[in-house]
């Protein structure tokens, strides 16, 4: 199958549909919502293409998939497949009907190690691999991904993410977007915590989905690089 190229016409058509569906009256209102000056004008003229950040903001704010924005079609549905936890260096025993090449091995490390490395995790820090079904993480298939098992008492993001869940973090995505969930450096939660993140000029604001946890404000001067990466996948075992 030939690879689909970006079509400016289809993308702008989808943006127009989105504006009509959401009752957005003019381009300036849309531009303000996505945080890009003259966005539609620049896209129409060919001055620039929509960036990954812009696509992710539209996706998060309006609840539309990137496939829909770029092609006008939704991707085919698939059933989530349970990940396979295996010792580092071993191949997964995949479910019947699937093949090992459909899986990506993501190193499973403890929180402080995940928080301490900007790039690939050193091999001697990896005890297990999480073999995750590739369609569940889409295009985010690269060697910098890392998996972390949340602590048994880590309930600050419940009910969205349950305590003890395994999460996969993409450290290449550190730009803070509205409503997204990030892994952040937080000593009191084992070095690596999962939070929604917003920011002011001088502070990071970490917000939990569990209403029992108040927001945490941290000065950027003391912690300039608090974001480890974006949380792109999670899985909870219901056994035990």
Mean pLDDT of the region 5-27: 86
Residue 143 has pLDDT above 90, yes or no: no
Neighbours of 225 (CB within 10 A): 10
Domain boundary among 24, 46, 71: 71
* Residue 229 and residue 111 share a domain: yes
Per-residue pLDDT reduced to its tens digit, 38-59: 889 989 988 888 888 888 888 8
Domain range enclosing 134: 84-235
Output the pLDDT for position 160: 94
* Residue 200 and residue 111 share a domain: yes
Report the CATH number that the domain containing residue 58 is assigned in CATH: 1.10.260
Closest by CA position to 126, among listed 155, 148, 142: 148
* Residue 142 and residue 56 share a domain: no
Q: Beta-strand (E) ranges in the chain?
A: 84-87, 103-109, 128-133, 146-149, 166-170, 181-186, 191-199, 203-207, 216-219, 227-235
Is residue 79 in some structural domain?
no
Rounded Cα distance between 160 and 194, Å, is: 11
The CA-based angle 33-70-12, given to 5 degrees, is 60
pTM reported for the whole predicted model? 0.67
Mean pLDDT of the region 215-238: 90
Report the CATH number that the domain containing residue 215 is assigned in CATH: 2.10.109.10
Query: Domain total for the chain?
Result: 2
Residue 78 has pLDDT above 60, yes or no: no
* Residue 124 and residue 60 share a domain: no
Per-residue pLDDT reduced to its tens digit, 21-37: 888 888 889 888 888 88
Is residue 151 in some structural domain?
yes
């Amino acid at each position: 199958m030939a690879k689909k190229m970006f079509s400016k016409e289809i993308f702008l058509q989808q943006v127009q549909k989105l504006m009509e569906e959401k009752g957005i009256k003019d381009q300036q209102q849309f531009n303000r919502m996505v945080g890009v000056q003259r966005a539609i004008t620049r896209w129409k003229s060919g001055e620039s293409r929509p960036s990954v950040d812009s696509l992710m903001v539209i996706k998060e704010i309006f609840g539309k998939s990137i496939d829909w924005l770029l092609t006008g079609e939704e991707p085919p549905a698939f059933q989530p497949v349970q990940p396979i936890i295996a010792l580092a260096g071993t191949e997964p025993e995949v479910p019947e009907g699937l093949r090992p090449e459909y899986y990506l091995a993501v190193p499973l490390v403890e929180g402080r190690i995940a928080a301490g490395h900007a790039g690939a995790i050193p091999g001697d820090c990896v005890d297990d691999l999480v073999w995750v079904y590739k369609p569940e993480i889409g295009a985010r298939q690269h060697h910098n991904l890392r998996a972390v098992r949340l602590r048994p008492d880590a309930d600050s993001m419940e009910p969205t993410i349950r305590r003890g869940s395994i999460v996969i973090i993409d450290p290449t995505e550190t730009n803070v977007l509205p409503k997204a969930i990030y892994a952040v450096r937080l000593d009191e939660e084992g070095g690596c915590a999962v939070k929604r993140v917003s920011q002011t000029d001088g502070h990071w604001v970490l917000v939990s989905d569990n209403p029992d946890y108040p927001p945490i404000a941290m000065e950027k001067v003391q912690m300039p690089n608090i974001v480890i990466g974006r949380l792109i996948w999670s899985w909870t075992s219901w056994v035990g």
